[in-house]
A and B are shown apart, each in its own frame.
Chain A
Amino acid sequence: MIQFTNVAFSYQRDKKVFDEMNIHFDHGKIYGLLGENGVGKTTFLRLTAGLLFPDQGTIDIMGFSPKKRNPEFLSSLFYLPEEFDSPHEVIMNFVIRNGSFYPSFNVDQFKTYMDQFGVDLNKKFTELSFGQKKKALISMALALNTSILLLDEPTNGLDIPSKSIFRRLIAQVSDENKCIIISTHQVRDLELLIDPIVILERNQVLLNDSVESITQKLLFSVESTIPTDALYYEPTLGGYHVISINHNGIESKLNIELLFNAVIANRDYFKNVYPIAK
């Protein structure tokens, strides 16, 4: 569905954000895009959306080159940025005006989502708080029913009940034909939702694997002492959260935050050994 082949991109000539980047995203999945600040998560989403063009390499999205911004391509993808403009108009008018360009847009769906989030359709964007604006745009993004949905930090600014509504709505709209990519730092908000997990590092992809595969390769446990073969550990109440290599095929529950910290702390292992580990 989304294929990056040898993609290179830089904002300045000597500072490459991506170099020889290869990654594939499939339909029917909700990808969690993780990475430290400044590794290029937003840049990746913008390249996918055709808002930025790669310096080298090719990006293929359902047979389209995002750079060409073909209307068919644009109508099958929606990118919700972290920061957005507040148009001086009533939400409903704005959404109907823009939504009418998307063949699969469903206004009733939009109204239902807005109702679930508890945001008044007839208010102006400028009258809403940041979180309410975000809810309105999330509702719009979901009601457009595009095949690819790119969400940049969607839970930032959402209150606790809204985060739960967001998770429910994402699970509801997700189907076999859709590819949803969520870039986030709030991994706990989306822990049960995202699968596979993609961790970016400057210039490259450190990890791109499904939750099932990760838990087959790695064991997440709480131990009273640090095991000798621990790949990574963090102190917790009464012991340690530990990640070790899963030699015996024991089932464990993935802790994304711990995984992320482990990946960042063991870059070489995840770059070289992990991809070929069984």
Chain B
Amino acid sequence: MPSLPIGTILRTFIQLLSNKTKEKLTNMNTPFNLSRYARLVAAETQQFRKHYLYFGATVILLALLNQHVENNAFSAISVIILLIAPFIFYNHVYHSVKGVMYTMLPASNAEKMAACWTQCVIILPLFLWIIWFILRVINHVVHPEDVSSFINVNATISNYWNAISAQSVAIFAVMAFRRRKWQTLIAILFVIAIIGTIIGISWLHAFQQYSENLPFEWTTKPWVFHYAEIILILIFPFGFWLVSYFKLEEQEL
């Protein structure tokens, strides 16, 4: 597998997209056209370049203040950026003035959603990863340490996955709520947290009365947890991505 590095795949993908953006658009009657999608991704990346600059500057500034760069590529600040990015990038989706050009742009909703997904789930994390890598190399030169501890792969992948799972809810909020998107999302999450806590506590009380051996410990995870994990993955992020697409289809200005 190392003979097929991620870099080569990425380079090929970027080359393909880059070639596609140069083609003249002629076929407009397909619901998904790679050329249009690539052009949309390129156009949005160009449009968001200032935001990328600010995100990069924030990460660098914090690294300078800390005088240390973690071996986890997606540390807290990167996760926060991934969570707030959809609100910053796509805040105009329901704006009656700012959203007109975006909505009228000749691309299907599937292409627009795919471009949004590419921006939030691939390009931004990749950008943050590159910044982290450069900072980490500098950190390594200034404070030499064991090369094997350069990157914590497991923590990086785990944080990335958790971040994009949570980010899927942010994307949903952007596509679903017309105004005060993040405030509405926080309010809803707050209500869910309170209800969840009340239900959880009541459930524990009920369980305590039923069993005298509480607090209990399981030696292995009960089977129901495996199913719960699968269901959670289906909801976060896949379910929210899918629902976001349907919300984009319903978008009116």
B187 interface contact, C-beta 8 A: no
- A81 and B100 within 8 A (CB): yes
- B97 and A75 within 8 A (CB): no
Query: What's the least CB distance linking B41 to chain A, in Å?
Result: 12
Q: CA A74 – CA B102 in complex, angstroms? A: 11
22 contacts between A and B (CB under 8 A): A50-B103, A50-B104, A52-B252, A53-B252, A69-B103, A69-B109, A70-B29, A70-B31, A71-B28, A71-B106, A72-B29, A75-B28, A85-B92, A85-B97, A85-B98, A85-B100, A93-B46, A97-B46, A97-B47, A98-B105, A101-B36, A101-B39
A124 interface contact, C-beta 8 A: no
A8-26 vs B: 1/0 string, CB under 8 Å?
0000000000000000000
A51 interface contact, C-beta 8 A: yes
Per CB-CB distance, the 4 closest pairs between chain A and chain B, nearest first, are: A75-B106, A74-B106, A72-B28, A85-B98
Q: CA A78 – CA B105 in complex, angstroms? A: 9
A49 interface contact, C-beta 8 A: yes
Closest chain A residue, CB of each to CB of B107: A71
Q: CA A101 – CA B107 in complex, angstroms? A: 8
A79 interface contact, C-beta 8 A: yes
A83 interface contact, C-beta 8 A: yes
A46 interface contact, C-beta 8 A: yes
Q: CA A81 – CA B104 in complex, angstroms? A: 11
Q: CA A83 – CA B97 in complex, angstroms? A: 6
- A74 and B50 within 8 A (CB): no
Interfacial residues of chain A within 62-111, with CB under 8 A of chain B in the complex = 69-72, 74-75, 77-79, 81, 83-85, 87-88, 93, 97-98, 100-103
What is the number of residues of chain A that contact chain B, defined by CB distance less than 8 Å?
28
For A87, the chain B residues whose CB sits under 8 A away are 47
- A102 and B106 within 8 A (CB): yes
Q: CA A50 – CA B50 in complex, angstroms? A: 30
Query: What's the least CB distance linking B210 to chain A, in Å?
Result: 50
- B252 and A49 within 8 A (CB): no
Query: What's the least CB distance linking A169 to chain B, in Å?
Result: 21
- Among B31, B40, B50, B100, which residue has its beta carbon within 8 angstroms of that of A51? B100
B189 interface contact, C-beta 8 A: no
A43-64 vs B: 1/0 string, CB under 8 Å?
0001001111100000000000
The winner among A46, A50, A53, A101 for most chain B CB atoms within 10 A is A101
- A97 and B104 within 8 A (CB): no
For A52, the chain B residues whose CB sits under 8 A away are 252-253
Interfacial residues of chain B within 151-185, with CB under 8 A of chain A in the complex = none
Known interface pairs A70-B31, A71-B36; 9 further A-B residue pairs with C-beta atoms within 8 A, sorted by A's residue number? A50-B104, A51-B100, A69-B103, A70-B108, A71-B108, A83-B97, A85-B101, A101-B107, A103-B28
B25 interface contact, C-beta 8 A: yes
- B25 and A79 within 8 A (CB): no
For B24, the chain A residues whose CB sits under 8 A away are 103
Q: CA A51 – CA B105 in complex, angstroms? A: 11
B94-132 vs A: 1/0 string, CB under 8 Å?
010110110111111101000000000000000000000
B26 interface contact, C-beta 8 A: yes
Query: What's the least CB distance linking A52 to chain B, in Å?
Result: 5
Closest chain B residue, CB of each to CB of A93: B46
For B139, the chain A residues whose CB sits under 8 A away are none
Given contacts A71-B106, A74-B107, A85-B101, A98 and B43 within 8 Å (CB-CB): yes
- A100 and B25 within 8 A (CB): yes
For A70, the chain B residues whose CB sits under 8 A away are 29, 31, 108
For A50, the chain B residues whose CB sits under 8 A away are 103-104
Q: CA A270 – CA B28 in complex, angstroms? A: 42
B75 interface contact, C-beta 8 A: no
For B47, the chain A residues whose CB sits under 8 A away are 87, 97
The winner among A74, A84, A100 for most chain B CB atoms within 10 A is A100
The winner among B24, B30, B97 for most chain A CB atoms within 10 A is B97
Given contacts A52-B252, A101-B25, A79 and B106 within 8 Å (CB-CB): no
For B46, the chain A residues whose CB sits under 8 A away are 93, 97
B33 interface contact, C-beta 8 A: yes
- B28 and A49 within 8 A (CB): no
Interfacial residues of chain A within 160-201, with CB under 8 A of chain B in the complex = none
For A69, the chain B residues whose CB sits under 8 A away are 103, 108-109
- B100 and A79 within 8 A (CB): yes
Closest chain B residue, CB of each to CB of A83: B97
For B103, the chain A residues whose CB sits under 8 A away are 50-51, 69
- B107 and A98 within 8 A (CB): no
Closest chain A residue, CB of each to CB of B24: A103
- A84 and B97 within 8 A (CB): yes
- A101 and B253 within 8 A (CB): no
- Among B29, B104, B107, which residue has its beta carbon within 8 angstroms of that of A78? B104
For A77, the chain B residues whose CB sits under 8 A away are 104
